[in-house]
Amino acid sequence: MDELTYHYDGSYAGLLSVLQRIFAWRETPTEICVAAPAQDDLFSTAAQVATDLQRADQLLSAIRTHLSPDSATFVRHAFFSEVPGVEMAIYRYLAHGWKVRRRLDDDLACPAVAEVQRLAQRVRRESHRLKGLARFRETDEGLLYAPLEPEHFVLPLLAPHFAERLGQERWLIQDVRRSKGVFYAEGRWVLADLDVHASPQFSAEESHWQQLWQTFFARIAIAERTNPRQQKSFMPMKYWKYLVEMEPR
């Protein structure tokens, strides 16, 4: 049987469609990547797999039934890490899962299991951190706006949290790095492409509250107890760009 290089559209459902085909047809992947199919080489054949929501749902159902619901969550969160090679890492994880079934996530001695769980944990950790570091500002249209530049794709994890916390508001969280955003209004949130270059206009009241917050943050800081290293452990510098309290007064 030929070894195959698979190409898909980069979506989560797209990857699940690829993996469902691989396992259903018992194919052997050499690579899974986001790109148009290249010309076949001497060692592998290129295959473009279209996203098929029914096929993706079939695989998710099989994972939840024969492995565990936690395994499905590990796969999803690991995919959001967007690290190079994550697709093949997930393939190896699931391939091992079909062998050991419900013992999969306890088999930490298996490199494939350890890798997927490690990537998923990185995504969860960043999501948890940004739940406390996201800074919403009111625009002149009454929309709460929070720009972020996360290392991983965490918008799908942040959206349910803020939908519950700010359920009576209209808000938008923008992932500036990926040109994506999640918009919430009237009990529903939607994830979409969002390429905004111009800075939004903030309300006069918002500017007032920003100044108060900066003043408060400056005054509670006791110079003798300032610990930059500890501060950076809780608030890494890569997130400072959008923190109101870190902006120059």
- Residues 118 and 76: beta-carbon distance below 8 Å: no
- Residues 15 and 49: beta-carbon distance below 8 Å: no
DSSP 163-229: HHHTTTS-EEEEETTTTEEEEEETTEEEEEE----SPPPBPHHHHHHHHHHHHHHHHH--GGG--HH
- The pTM of the full predicted model, rounded to 2 decimals, is 0.83
CA atoms within 13 A on the CB side of 50: 2
CA distances 84 to 8, 80, 87, 152, Å, are 14, 11, 8, 12
Q: DSSP assignment, residue 31?
A: E
Provide the residue-wise pLDDT of the chain in tens; the chain has 249 residues: 567 899 999 999 999 999 999 999 999 999 999 976 555 555 567 899 999 999 999 999 999 999 999 999 999 999 999 999 999 999 999 999 999 999 999 999 999 999 999 999 999 999 999 999 998 988 888 889 999 999 999 999 999 999 999 999 999 999 999 999 999 999 999 999 987 665 666 555 545 445 544 444 455 555 545 555 544 555 567 776 776 655 545
